[in-house]
Amino acid sequence: MSRTLTVTRTPRTGEPRPCAVCSDSGLSFLELLSSVKPVLERDGIAVITGSTPDVQDASTDDTGFMLNGRPLEDLLRECDRAQFICHSSRCQAFVSAVEVVRDERGARCIRAPEMLFRKAILLSLE
C-alpha cells in the first residue's frame, strides 16, 4: 500500500479546473478530499495536491484529476463495476452510477456517489 496520495489536475488551456461532484452529497471532489485528508494523514499517508502545466491538445482522458498517476474517472468506474455482483440467472443489467455530464458552463463533469469517490481514493493507494 502506498504511503502517499498524490492528487494532480491537468487542465486544458482556457478551461476551468476539472469538475468532479458527489451526486448524493453535492460535495466537490476537492471538498471531499479536504474532509478525508486529516484521517489519511493521521494514518501516516501523506496527501500532496498540485496541478500540472496547461495542456494544449490533450484528449478528454488526459485531463481531470489524477490520483497517484491514475485518472479519477477510471478509478471511479473500476470501483463502480466491482460493486456489481450477481450470480443469479435473473440479474439486472449493470447500470453505472458514474455519469459524465456537462455543467452550467458546458464543461465536462464527473458525477458519482460519495462512497465511490472514497473507494477510488483507497484504490489509488493500492
pLDDT at 13: 61
Rounded CA separation 97/117 (Å): 11
Write out the residue range of the structural domain in which residue 53 sits.
4-124
Residue 63: all three cell numbers together: 485531463
Q: Which residues contact 104 (CB under 8 A, 6 or more apart)?
A: none
Number of domains into which the chain is organized = 1
**pLDDT per residue as tens digits for the range 57-97:** 444 444 589 999 999 999 999 999 988 877 677 777 888 99
Contact 103, 109 (CB under 8 A): yes
Contact 51, 10 (CB under 8 A): yes
pLDDT at 53: 63
**pLDDT per residue as tens digits for the range 19-72:** 899 999 999 999 999 999 999 999 999 999 988 765 544 444 445 899 999 999
pLDDT at 85: 77
Q: What's the predicted TM-score (pTM) here?
A: 0.84
Please report where in the chains the cell 484529476 appears, as a residue: 65
pLDDT at 60: 45
Enter the DSSP assignment of 114.
H
